[in-house]
Amino acid sequence: MSLSIGDWENQRAFLAVLRSGSLSAAARELGIAQPTVRRRLEALEKAMGNALFTRSPSGLSPTDAARELGVHAEVMAAAAEAFERAASATPTVIGGTVRITASEIVGAEVLPAMLAGLREKHPALRFEVHLSNRTQDLLRQEADIAVRMVRPSQAALVMKHVGAVKLGLFAHPAYLAAHGEPQTLDALADLALIGPDRKGDELRAYTDIFRLPPSQLLALRNDSHLGQLAAIRAGYGVGVCQTPLARREPKLKRVLGAAFEMDLPAWVVMHEDLMRVPRIRATFDHLVESLKAYCADSA
């Protein structure tokens, strides 16, 4: 097998198909025509001498060879994206692209206002915010900065513990007015409780806390924390929410007070090699200070 350096576009097409499972979705991701994706994939298969996908009713299924190559293609893609971000700015200027990864709730509900304030000070900055509860690998440059709710264990990382976000049980005032406010945890069984669907660790936590299996306890199950928050705000029932978010409109009402309270520790993390990059260091420092204030506001 001999692949020249010019085959990167073919490999990008392969990775897009691997991620999406279809030629049409890969074409949309890459912003090119579907026949172009097909030609690039066929060229790569010809150069390798192996088929990378088989057709199935659900789309294109990767072969074992494709799955193995996908690991390396992901690393190459992350490195290429990091190269583009590094090339997007003058080294001595606070400008260019910074990629941040954070959980759904933090990335969608907390970071936008913080980043807006930073960009007012540095208009040349641009941000890519990846919403995911998966821990992305900073060592492989999948992101420049991460906001994590679990202490990182990897070496070669710079991390700042910014505090802990308070979690409590909340509901829309209209829901409580219609159904009453519970006075004990056991009384929650008579209300519409919102919680996880298939996340094993969260389901076990709900079972341990409320002493009922989720099938009997939860009136709405959603593995998306954004989905759970939307349901609480809509007045569907009672659910877990970060206390600073509960103060936003529509304002939510605390249920059971200190009888149900949890701390969610938070860290801002980056690779130590990026500390001297102006755009990344400025973003890191800004997020550390902003998230410290956010955690303090949750007390």
What are the tens digits of pLDDT across the range 36-72? Answer: 988 888 888 888 877 888 887 777 888 888 888 888 8
Domain 165-263 carries which CATH code?
Answer: 3.40.190.10
CA distance 211 to 185: 9
In the chain, the largest separation of any two C-alpha atoms, in whole Å, equals: 70
Q: Which long-range contacts (CB under 8 A, 24 or more apart) does 109-117 make?
A: 109/226, 109/229, 109/242, 109/245, 110/244, 110/245, 110/291, 110/294, 111/147, 111/287, 114/286, 114/287, 114/290, 114/291, 114/294, 117/286, 117/290
The CATH architecture to which 87-158+276-293 belongs is 3-Layer(aba) Sandwich (3.40)
Domain 5-80 adopts which CATH fold? Answer: Arc Repressor Mutant, subunit A (1.10.10)
Tokens of 12: 């990008």
Tokens of 99: 């990629």
Tell me the pLDDT tens digit for each residue of 131-188: 876 655 555 667 889 999 888 777 678 899 999 999 999 999 999 999 999 998 888 8
CA 27, chain centre distance (Å): 24
Domain boundaries, the chain: 5-80, 87-158+276-293, 165-263
Tell me the pLDDT tens digit for each residue of 103-123: 999 999 999 999 999 999 999
Q: How many CA atoms lie within 13 A of 190 on its CB side?
A: 11
Mean pLDDT of 263-280: 89
pLDDT, averaged across the chain: 86
Q: Looking at residue 55, what DSSP letter applies?
A: E
252, 181 contact by CB (below 8 A):
no
Asked if domains 5-80 and 165-263 share a fold, the reply is: no
Q: What is the pTM of this model?
A: 0.70
Residue bearing tokens 């200070």: 289
Compute CA distances 17 → 5, 9, 68, 130, whole Å: 20, 12, 14, 20
- pLDDT of the residue at 5: 37
Per-residue buried b or exposed e for 49-78, using 16+ beta carbons within 10 Å of the residue's own CB: eeebbeeeeeebebeeebeebbeebbeebb
Confidence of residue 250 (pLDDT cuts 50, 70, 90): confident
CA distance 12 to 1: 18
Residues 6+ apart with CB under 8 A from 21: 58, 59, 60, 61
